[in-house]
Amino acid sequence: MNERVSEESLELRKREFDEFEGFKTLESFISAEQHLHPRSRGFFADILRRIGVASKIIGSRVQRAGLTNVLGKAGRVNIQGEQQMKLDVMSNELLMNTLQWLPAVAGMASEEEEGVMRLPPHPDEHDTYVIMFDPLDGSSNIDANVSIGTIFSIHRRVTKWGACEEVDFLQPGRRLLAAGYVIYGSSTMFVYSTGNGVHGFTLDPEVGEYVLSHPDMRIPDQCRCFSANETNYKHWDEPTKRFADHIRFGSDPHYEKTSSRYIGSMVADFHRNLLYGGVFLYPADKKHPTGKLRLLFECAPLAWLAEQAGGAATTGRQDILDIQPEKLHQRCPIVIGNSREVDLYRQMVADHDQGN
């Protein structure tokens, strides 16, 4: 293709994308984004669409859960040794079954499964993707009708031929192509980024479509919410205690309007903080020496969204997106939200490490 023509047509596509008006469904938005990549054959866009479809089914089952005998425990534990809920199992199977037929999906990994699902290599396709998800995050809240969510992320595979391997999944978050979540709350929302800002779509139950309701989401500067399981305070290390005390009890006027808000569903806590401004932490502590939340299934995708929305995420000593994963189910400490507070935490950890 002539370079100049292709640059011009790309400019035009970008302008069309920026000026994209009308009834903006997730479907049409994904197509518009796809046109920003002139060589795209639509395989990647198909994955996003299919996640959207699966999430509508999960959302409808979550809404009817009290009526259809799917509340409660499934009677088995997952790889983390945690009780699986019936809806965990159902959501996991639904995502696996919906996505495995797409030719560009080389493999999948789930918080609920020990190993990765390798799909037969597609004969014509070697430029394919691996998908990771936490099918139903915050599932301990299901029976109480509290907001829960699905978290997903997509990497381009790094191996070139044959079935995918674990190394295709063990990539730093910085290399993500897309990440997002679906929150099943008072309404169902699909929030995602392909590196072009964070966009939120609300499911219109009357037409059954996700409609763009929150374009280009940016985390507000004001830290309105401090979100942590504060009963763990006694198990936290010194810099984390100092950070929490500074925000909760200090005299810094910046925190005059900050409130404690903790749901215990990371998706819901993150979503609220993204809208209102705030910081969420699940640090390492005496009970969880490497943190509680999973790097690949929870922390990296949300860290990617936080950065795309102008925020940040750290362990205290390293950006979440820079961590080179070593194991599929690796956990990590996380402080995520407004850049100002994430920087403050980093600084307090650094001061502590230097003996101050």
Q: Residue numbers of the site for Mg ion (CB under 5 A)?
A: 134, 137
Nearer to Mg ion, 80 or 159 (CB): 80
The distance of closest approach from Cβ of residue 228 to ligand AHM in the complex, given in angstroms and rounded to an integer, is: 8
Nearer to Mg ion, 30 or 336 (CB): 336
Nearer to ligand AHM, 160 or 234 (CB): 234
Q: Please state, in angstroms and as integers, the Cα–Cα distance from residue 143 to each residue in 70, 241, 245, 291, following that order.
A: 10, 32, 33, 25
User: CB under 8 Å to 231, separation ≥6 — which residues?
Assistant: none
The distance of closest approach from Cβ of residue 22 to ligand AHM in the complex, given in angstroms and rounded to an integer, is: 36
Q: Choose the one of ligand AHM, Mg ion, none that binds residue 265, judging by a C-beta under 5 to 8 angstroms depending on kind.
A: ligand AHM
Q: Choose the one of ligand AHM, Mg ion, none that binds residue 307, judging by a C-beta under 5 to 8 angstroms depending on kind.
A: none
Determine the Cα–Cα distance for residues 86 and 72; give it in Å rounded to an integer: 6
Q: Please name every residue paired with 25 in a beta bridge, in sequence order, or none if there are none.
A: 211
Nearer to ligand AHM, 97 or 229 (CB): 229
Q: Which two tokens stand for residue 273?
A: 């903080």
Q: Please name every residue paired with 259 in a beta bridge, in sequence order, or none if there are none.
A: 225
Question: Which residues here bind ligand AHM, judged by CB under 6 A?
Answer: 82, 111, 134, 137-140, 229, 264-266, 282, 292
HSE toward the beta carbon, residue 101, CA cutoff 13 A: 7
The distance of closest approach from Cβ of residue 260 to ligand AHM in the complex, given in angstroms and rounded to an integer, is: 13
The distance of closest approach from Cβ of residue 105 to ligand AHM in the complex, given in angstroms and rounded to an integer, is: 23
Nearer to Mg ion, 295 or 344 (CB): 295
Nearer to ligand AHM, 169 or 282 (CB): 282
The distance of closest approach from Cβ of residue 111 to Mg ion in the complex, given in angstroms and rounded to an integer, is: 6
**What residue number has its CB nearest to Mg ion?**
137
> What is the C-alpha R_g of the chain?
20
The distance of closest approach from Cβ of residue 56 to ligand AHM in the complex, given in angstroms and rounded to an integer, is: 21
Nearer to ligand AHM, 62 or 104 (CB): 62
Q: Choose the one of Mg ion, ligand AHM, none that binds residue 244, judging by a C-beta under 5 to 8 angstroms depending on kind.
A: none
Determine the Cα–Cα distance for residues 303 and 318; give it in Å rounded to an integer: 12
Determine the Cα–Cα distance for residues 74 and 68; give it in Å rounded to an integer: 14
> Pairing between strand 225-227 and 259-260?
parallel
Burial of 22 per CB tally in 10 Å (0-12, 13-18, 19+): exposed
The distance of closest approach from Cβ of residue 316 to ligand AHM in the complex, given in angstroms and rounded to an integer, is: 17
27 backbone φψ class: left, alpha, beta (φ>0; ψ -120 to 50): alpha
